[in-house]
């Protein structure tokens, strides 16, 4: 049987629109099914402050991808995480 249903993101942390997040927070995305760990990379899990992508390390375990910023996030700044197919 071939799996024809693409995976989806079923949970994130912090949640969409969250405020008051600690500047040393990690960002996670949990998928609806296991992913190929090699497909979760800095070019497919992007975090941006609106004008610049933020550098960081990415790990993957089970069904959860985690982005750990290289430096603390800035106060009073909106960040957007994007996961693409590469």
* Residue 38: inside a domain: yes
In this prediction, residue 4 carries a pLDDT of 87
* Residue 78: inside a domain: yes
- Asked whether residue 3 carries a pLDDT value surpassing 90, the answer given is no
- Asked whether residue 86 carries a pLDDT value surpassing 80, the answer given is no
* Residue 50: inside a domain: yes
* Residue 3: inside a domain: no
* Residue 34: inside a domain: yes
Count: domains in the chain: 1
* Residue 2: inside a domain: no
Q: Which residues contact 30 (CB under 8 A, 6 or more apart)?
A: 9, 10, 11, 12, 63, 64, 65
Residue 32's domain spans which residues? 9-83
* Residue 4: inside a domain: no
- Bridge-based pairing of strands 56-61 and 45-48 is unpaired
- Mean pLDDT in residue range 17-37: 94
* Residue 17: inside a domain: yes
2 — pLDDT class (breaks 50, 70, 90): confident
């Amino acid at each position: 049987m071939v799996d024809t249903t693409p995976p989806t993101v079923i949970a994130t942390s912090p949640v969409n629109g969250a405020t008051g997040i600690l500047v040393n927070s990690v960002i996670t995305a949990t998928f609806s099914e296991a992913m190929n760990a090699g497909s979760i990379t800095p070019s497919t899990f992007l975090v941006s402050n609106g004008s610049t992508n933020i550098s960081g390390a990415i790990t993957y375990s089970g069904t959860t991808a985690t982005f750990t910023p290289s430096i603390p996030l800035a106060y009073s700044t909106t960040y957007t995480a994007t996961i693409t197919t590469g």
